[in-house]
Amino acid sequence: MVETIVRGGTTGDRPGSNYDPAAVEARWLARWAEDRLYHVDDATDRPNWFALTMYPYPSGILHMGHWYAFSIPDAFARYKRMRGYNVMFPMGFDAFGLPAENAAIRNNIHPAIWTEDNIATMRIQFQAMGTMIDWDRQVASCDPEFYRWNQWFFLRMLERGLAYRSNGAVWWCPNDQTVLANEQVLDGNVCERCGSEVIRRDLEQWYLRITDYAEELLREAEHLDWPDRVKTMQRNWIGRSEGARLRFALAGGQAGDEPLEVFTTHPETVWGATFMVLAPEHPAVVTLTSAERRTEIDAYVERAKNETEIERASLDESRPKTGVFTGGHAVNPVTGELIPVWIADYVLMGYGTGAIMAVPAHDARDFAFARAHGLPVRPVIQPDGADPLDGGSMPGPYLGPGTMVNSGPIDGLRMPDQMAAVLDWVECNGRGHREVTYRLRDWLISRQRYWGTPIPVIYCQDCGIVPVPDADLPVILPLDAEFTPTGQSPLVSNEAFVSVPCPACGGPGRRETDTMDTFVDSSWYWYRYTSPHLDIAPFDAALVAAWTPVNLYCGGIEHAILHLLYARFWTKVMRDLRLIDHGEPFLRLRNQGMILSAEGTKMSKSRGSQVGPDELVSAHGADALRLHLMYLGPWDQGGPWNDRGITGMERFIRRAYQVVEDGAKVTPTADADRGGEAAIRRLTHQTIAKVTADMEAYQVNTMVAALIEFANALFAGRRGEVAATAAWREAVETLVLLMAPSTPFVAEEMWSMLGNTDSVHTRDWPEANQDFLRVTEVEIVVQVNGKVRDRVVAEPGADEAAAVTLAMASDRVRTAVAGKAPKRVVYVPGKLVNLVV
RNA sequence: GCGGACGUGGCGGAAUGGCAGACGCAGCGGUCUUAAACACCGCAGAGGCGACUCGUGCGGGUUCGAAUCCCGCCGUCCGUACCA
């Protein structure tokens, strides 16, 4: 695409030899601070644009992953600013959490001090990266002026029944000595924070009722401009299943016994239900178990309790289906048959009702269980055109479509097409009702750790759970705590914190000592950027209305479920509290890929495989590093780190710098045709179009390629005749403007070299002018039978006949055609002609 | 097992139905230099002296034309997992 302009001479000097990255960066950092260039006003005559990037944990130092995650969104934000928006690109710190405690224990330094020091360091590093962050808006979640609003939200949820305390089996990390949310348990049994194996414990804990929003979270995700894989992951995590709840009465005539309820997605197969299976923890197990089975059942329940979770982590489908008969029976609600009730660990208490009707003929797990324990198999769905299925001899379950058999009134119905008729029958005959079940569990937010938001409730012997009155917020996290993990919150031993009068009756009360999951902080932090120091509400409603929902949210794919699901839930709760008017926080989401070590493994502090940006910045400059990260490959793909290419980025910057330096010396003459002007103008506007399109699509690698091509062409022609024209001047200015989002420091320097006294970052983005894109001739590819044989030059509007004539004038084409008449001609105007002979 | 993404030179990658390998790195040749580094100018998928032939994981298909669409396989990565 690059046309040869005019070849200039060479000097032998290194291009851009006057460019000193360190000096340029220092100069403009000082100047920008002085001019408050990145201060964001809430109301301007421009539309607001909220560019958000997931706030980092203040781990102490910015590594390459941070540069990848922040410098590229910074370029997007700068681009939007040049496109005429009033852009807010704020930053904060996810400052509560375990690493601070662990560092505190290791280094004998208080988490608050450690965190504060790290934030100070990282702020400076962020500035060195050349970001347009407005630091006046910084928030830190460990700041009482922030976390008091966590407490305030919690109280609002408590009032609405969205926060509740419940006893049950929870995930416990023995290393971190705290409970975890379901979402924080990876691979079935691994702690998301520390990688230890987690275990099950029975504890009373605080939950947030995210399941109330399951349907809405599922439904509204469809319309978001988010990567499909994130939406898919959320959909699977929420895990919606449609089916029916059926009631199975207990046999034995105990009148007071509640029937067993099951959830099934296949109610049509109830005629084939030949036994039932309960989860070992199911409350009915005790009453169902007959005296002679008791010992065996108790042993199984005990074993399941201790082993299941660990075993389940390594299980596969071939794992033997163990289980024990309770000695009790239930009544199949449609056949009236007595069917045995078993317990087995393949039935989970946490899903559905913790009990299933087993239909071995049409379910893989039930089939394996039936064969292992000699239970009857009764087919009720007959595949088309096959011999009748036989329960005794069928080699495996039949899972496909077919016609109902052995099923009384629903015999002959087609499955799955006529499922609705089955559900109608079930409901009309009082056997059960339609039901939708979700895999999503409520969000467990209690943590038995120190460095987090205190949960604002007080326990009173007489009044029970009493919320801390709003007027008493924040409940300050005391700094004088002994925070070594013991399995109990470190606050338990802090008598001054714990012992308080009951707000209701004034009697002796004890404060809740657990703290909140840090995902609470990150569920609403971005709203706080709009009014970071407001002390009468979590945020200013008018400012939030002016800035949110977020226009573009950038961050790592690892938050696809955890943070992004919680944040959506919190937003919907805030909407229902009438604090905001929208239910989805992030209109558009883009994920960066992960930067891996050179070996392709995850970079980690412990393995020492993290790469620091400092040496590269001092050797090549922050701008070169920013470009290098953009140029590594598609941003959403990430990939193994290497620093080999950064020299090329520095070369590019130096050439651009040289072009500007030379260009600044020339006074453009009035337009006169010097032979290269039309070409340089076309290239300028082609580049504008390409860079703009790539920026809109977040394709920064190809955007940089276009900048390099443009700079190379200008470099080659910089000392030729054309360099004295107005077209040239426009080209040079355009190059600087197009580079501004990506290389903010050197672009600013070059802009001032061109005699400007304002900041390039406040300038308007150039616009591609169609008039300059017009070409005088086009190259048409000539194919014979689909193989390229030649290229011919034609007029831009050449029709098929003209193209064929030109094509046939070529010797190579004539040789390939070998005198035969074309059977068919395919012509793509201005691009390609294919002669089929 | 299920769901999703991906597979292109020595390397990162570009091209999403129309010239495969843009751009960059590394490499090679030349210029400059006492020499080197830097820089600049050029070369560069493989084979062939050449006209040409072959070439985007493998096998098939659709199409005038396929890296791109479809079917089957192989491999890598990510997510998820006894979800009734």
pLDDT value of position A786: 86
Q: Which nucleotide is closest to A639, CA to C1'?
A: B12
The Å distance, CA of A805 to C1' of B11, is 44
CB A514 within 8 A of CB A455: yes
The Å distance, CA of A643 to C1' of B38, is 19
CB A137 within 8 A of CB A90: yes
Distance CA A583, CA A575 (A): 6
Q: Average pLDDT over chain A, rounded to whole?
A: 89
- CA A826, distance to chain mean position in Å, is 45
Distances (CA, A) of A338 to A90, A260, A343: 66, 13, 16
The Å distance, CA of A58 to C1' of B49, is 66
Distance CA A388, CA A391 (A): 10
CB atoms under 10 Å from CB of A790, counted, come to 19
Distance CA A722, CA A663 (A): 11
pLDDT value of position A3: 37
Quickly state the pLDDT bin for A307 (edges 50, 70, 90): low
A282, HSE (Cβ side, Cα atoms, 13 Å): 31
Burial of residue A316, with CB atoms counted within 10 A of its CB: 0-12 exposed, 13-18 middle, 19 or more buried: exposed
The Å distance, CA of A690 to C1' of B21, is 20
The Å distance, CA of A514 to C1' of B84, is 36
Per residue, the 3-state secondary structure of A562-629, as one string, reads HHHHHHHHHHHHHHHCCCCCCCCCECEEEEECCEECCCCCECCCCCCCCCCCHHHHHHHCHHHHHHHH
pLDDT at A9 over 70: no
The Å distance, CA of A142 to C1' of B15, is 49
Q: Which nucleotide is closest to A644, CA to C1'?
A: B25
Quickly state the pLDDT bin for A649 (edges 50, 70, 90): very high
Distances (CA, A) of A503 to A145, A465, A484, A509, A537: 22, 10, 30, 8, 22
Instruction: List, as own/partner pairs, every contact residues A293-296 make where C-beta atoms lie below 8 angstroms and the sequence separation is at least 24, other chains included.
Output: A293/A324, A293/A325, A293/A326, A293/A327, A296/A324
Q: Which nucleotide is closest to A269, CA to C1'?
A: B84
Q: Which nucleotide is closest to A7, CA to C1'?
A: B41
Residues in chain A: 837
Kindly report which amino acid residue has its CA closest to the C1' atom of nucleotide B65: A786
Q: Strand B nucleotides below 7 A of a protein CB? A: 1, 3-5, 11-15, 18-20, 22-26, 32, 38-42, 51-53, 64-66, 78-84
Residue A144 token pair: 């009482």
Kindly report which amino acid residue has its CA closest to the C1' atom of nucleotide B80: A236
CB A513 within 8 A of CB A489: yes
Distance CA A11, CA A175 (A): 65
The Å distance, CA of A268 to C1' of B81, is 25
pLDDT value of position A210: 95
Amino acid at A96: F
Distances (CA, A) of A322 to A169, A280, A308, A318, A590: 22, 11, 11, 12, 45
Better-predicted residue by pLDDT, A761 or A608: A761
Q: Which nucleotide is closest to A557, CA to C1'?
A: B78
pLDDT value of position A299: 93
Instruction: Work out the average pLDDT over A591-595.
Output: 88
Instruction: Work out the average pLDDT over A93-112.
Output: 88
The Å distance, CA of A342 to C1' of B78, is 38
Q: Which nucleotide is closest to A712, CA to C1'?
A: B23
Q: Which nucleotide is closest to A359, CA to C1'?
A: B84
The Å distance, CA of A639 to C1' of B12, is 9
pLDDT value of position A318: 55
Q: Which nucleotide is closest to A654, CA to C1'?
A: B39
Q: Which residues are CB-neighbours of A643 under 8 A, at least 6 positions away?
A: A611, A616, A628
Kindly report which amino acid residue has its CA closest to the C1' atom of nucleotide B37: A14
Kindly report which amino acid residue has its CA closest to the C1' atom of nucleotide B51: A812
Q: What's A510's DSSP letter?
A: E
Q: Range with the lowest mean pLDDT among A499-503, A662-666, A752-756?
A: A662-666
Residue A416 preceded by cis peptide, ω within 30: yes
pLDDT value of position A687: 96
The Å distance, CA of A312 to C1' of B81, is 10
A432-489 per-position pLDDT tens digit: 999 999 999 999 999 888 999 999 999 999 999 999 999 999 999 999 887 776 777 7
The Å distance, CA of A601 to C1' of B78, is 14
pLDDT value of position A605: 58
Q: Which nucleotide is closest to A831, CA to C1'?
A: B18
Q: Which nucleotide is closest to A646, CA to C1'?
A: B25
Distance CA A368, CA A396 (A): 8
Distance CA A37, CA A35 (A): 5
Distance CA A314, CA A22 (A): 53
Q: Which nucleotide is closest to A312, CA to C1'?
A: B82
Q: Which nucleotide is closest to A241, CA to C1'?
A: B83
pLDDT value of position A257: 72
A663-711 per-position pLDDT tens digit: 888 776 665 555 678 889 999 999 999 999 999 999 999 999 999 999 9
3-state secondary structure of A497: helix
3-state secondary structure of A811: helix
Residue A314 token pair: 């390594």
pLDDT value of position A706: 96
The Å distance, CA of A810 to C1' of B60, is 36
Q: Which nucleotide is closest to A593, CA to C1'?
A: B78
The sign of the CA dihedral A109, A113, A118, A120 is: negative
Amino acid at A143: D
A604-646 per-position pLDDT tens digit: 555 545 567 888 999 999 999 999 999 999 999 888 888 888 9
Distance CA A806, CA A789 (A): 13
The Å distance, CA of A388 to C1' of B73, is 34
Residue A465 token pair: 């759970």
DSSP characters for A79-104?
A: HHHHTT-EEE---EE---SHHHHHHH
Strands A92-93 and A139-140: parallel
Instruction: Work out the average pLDDT over A402-423.
Output: 92
The Å distance, CA of A813 to C1' of B47, is 24
pLDDT value of position A674: 59
Quickly state the pLDDT bin for A134 (edges 50, 70, 90): very high
DSSP bridge partners of A275 = A358
Strands A515-516 and A446-447: antiparallel
Distance CA A263, CA A441 (A): 16
Q: Range with the lowest mean pLDDT among A159-173, A305-319, A483-497?
A: A305-319
Distance CA A2, CA A164 (A): 65
The Å distance, CA of A632 to C1' of B11, is 12
A556-567 per-position pLDDT tens digit: 888 888 899 999
CA proximity to A321, closest of A342, A302, A294, A295:
A342
The Å distance, CA of A563 to C1' of B57, is 37
Distances (CA, A) of A482 to A108, A113, A490, A496: 11, 15, 6, 13
Burial per residue of A199-223, b for 16 or more beta-carbon CB atoms within 10 angstroms, e otherwise: ebeebebbbbbbbbbbeebbeebee
The Å distance, CA of A707 to C1' of B22, is 12
Quickly state the pLDDT bin for A829 (edges 50, 70, 90): confident
